[in-house]
Amino acid sequence: MTGTAPAARRDYGGRTANQRRAERRQRLMTAALELFGTEGYPATSIERLCARANVSTRNFYEEFASREALLIALHDQITQQAFDAVSAAVAEIEDAPTSVRIDRAIEAYIGTTSSDPRWTRIAYVEVIGVSAAVERHRLAWRARLGRMLEAEAAHAVARGEATNRDYSQTVMAFIGAVNELVYHWSIHGRQVPLTTIKDELTRLALAALRAE
């Protein structure tokens, strides 16, 4: 019988190379959450990330092409969870009035992005103005959020609960309001309940939907 037998996968302490690599990647994500989310992206070098994650710089570049790529991966994780939370919240109340749907959607989004102060800083601040690549990534997420909000506005119009008009500019203004208000709340000690922030944003959204 001829041929070469396939090379056996090497195990390290009962874990495969792929498992160890996944663990290294997760340690880097955890280190980035802590350092980017407390000291800021500009103040965090790859060397510091590697030291905190207990990985080599060679291992870092096996997982991420750059420090920016790690920031993008972390922001993706945070924002995707927020989007998933919104989708799940409104799916449960398909036939509810627009006021209820808007309230639940805002609660889900800001509740997720503010569940950890480090998430809040990364989601609303650290991804702004980093580089052209990170800006493209951020704007892609903003466009996705904008489409979701415009679809909700169209849903409200179809039900006779909102004025029939172009909401594209309103949506961009509302996204800015969410970003500024939640971040302002976070950096000033979270002195009021998050429901207060949610209620204010809900009032703002409903006023925009009903405006001529």
CA pair distance 47, 106, nearest whole angstrom: 38
Query: Domain spanning 11-64 has what CATH number?
Result: 1.10.10.60
DSSP bridge pairs for 11: 16
Strand 15-16 and strand 11-12: pairing? antiparallel
Specify the pLDDT at position 32: 96
Counting DSSP H helices and E strands in the chain, the numbers are: 9, 2
* Radius of gyration for the chain, computed over Cα atoms and rounded to the nearest angstrom: 21
Higher per-residue pLDDT: 16 or 67: 67
Helix (H, G, I), strand (E, B) or coil at 15: strand
CATH 1.10.10.60 spans which residues of the chain?
Answer: 11-64
User: What digits encode the pLDDT tens for the residues 151-184?
Assistant: 999 999 999 999 999 999 999 999 999 999 998 8
Query: How many angstroms separate the Cα of 92 from the Cα of each of 82, 88, 110, 161, 188?
Result: 16, 6, 18, 19, 33
Average pLDDT over residues 83-98: 92
Helix (H, G, I), strand (E, B) or coil at 68: helix
CATH 1.10.357.10 spans which residues of the chain?
Answer: 67-210
Specify the pLDDT at position 189: 85
CA pair distance 200, 88, nearest whole angstrom: 22
Whole-prediction pTM: 0.86
- Match 């924002």 to its residue by tokens: 79
CA pair distance 143, 147, nearest whole angstrom: 6
Per the prediction, the chain carries an average pLDDT of: 90
- Tokens at residue 168, please? 């594209």
Decide if 24 contacts 55 (C-beta within 8 A).
Answer: yes
- Tokens at residue 92, please? 């449960």
Judged against a pLDDT cut of 70, whether residue 12 lies above it is answered with no
- Tokens at residue 130, please? 């980093």
Class of domain 67-210: mainly alpha
Neighbours of 116 (CB within 10 A): 14
Specify the pLDDT at position 211: 83
Specify the pLDDT at position 52: 96
Helix (H, G, I), strand (E, B) or coil at 132: helix
